[in-house]
């Protein structure tokens, strides 16, 4: 009688073990949902980084020797020369 119950008990235990890991385990269904959520966040970050890189590459292209954009040069000069210490006021001169 006892021997007849051992095999079903072992099978039930093994099934419960693998079933628990299939749902709540490290690579289970719930972990898959978390991984997909993180993937969505990372894709958004990747899009933002690629956009920033494209803008920087465009700015760098405007500063290449022989094809320097005068507007960019003026913008950079104003940034560097018009920024002073806190409390200072820079007054642009007329040409």
Query: Which of 25-29, 38-42, 90-94 has maximum average pLDDT?
Result: 38-42
Measured torsion, CA atoms of residues 27, 33, 35, 37, in degrees rounded to the nearest 10: -170
Look at residue 55 and tell me if it is in a domain. Answer: yes
Give the tokens for residue 95: 């040409």
pLDDT band at 83 (very low <50, low <70, confident <90, very high): low
Look at residue 95 and tell me if it is in a domain. Answer: no
User: Tell me, what's the pLDDT at 95?
Assistant: 66
Look at residue 56 and tell me if it is in a domain. Answer: yes
Please state the φ and ψ torsions of residue 51, each to the nearest 5 degrees.
-65, -45
Look at residue 19 and tell me if it is in a domain. Answer: no
Look at residue 17 and tell me if it is in a domain. Answer: no
If you ran DSSP here, which 8-state letter would residue 69 be given? -
- In the predicted model, what is the mean pLDDT of residues 4-21? 91
pLDDT band at 12 (very low <50, low <70, confident <90, very high): very high
For residue 53, give its domain range: 32-68
Q: How many other C-beta atoms are found inside a 10 Å radius of the C-beta of residue 18?
A: 11
- In the predicted model, what is the mean pLDDT of residues 82-91? 70
Look at residue 59 and tell me if it is in a domain. Answer: yes
Please identify which residue in the block is written with the tokens 């960019």: 72
Domain count, the chain: 1
Look at residue 39 and tell me if it is in a domain. Answer: yes
- In the predicted model, what is the mean pLDDT of residues 60-64? 87
């Amino acid at each position: 009688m006892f021997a007849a119950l051992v095999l079903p008990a072992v099978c039930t235990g093994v099934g419960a073990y693998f079933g628990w890991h299939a749902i709540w385990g490290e690579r289970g269904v719930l972990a898959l949902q978390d991984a997909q959520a993180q993937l969505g966040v990372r894709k958004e970050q990747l899009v933002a980084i690629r956009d920033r890189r494209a803008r920087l590459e465009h700015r760098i292209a405007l500063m290449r020797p022989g094809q320097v954009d005068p507007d960019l040069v003026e913008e950079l000069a104003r940034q560097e020369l018009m920024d002073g210490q806190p409390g200072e006021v820079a007054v642009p001169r007329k040409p």
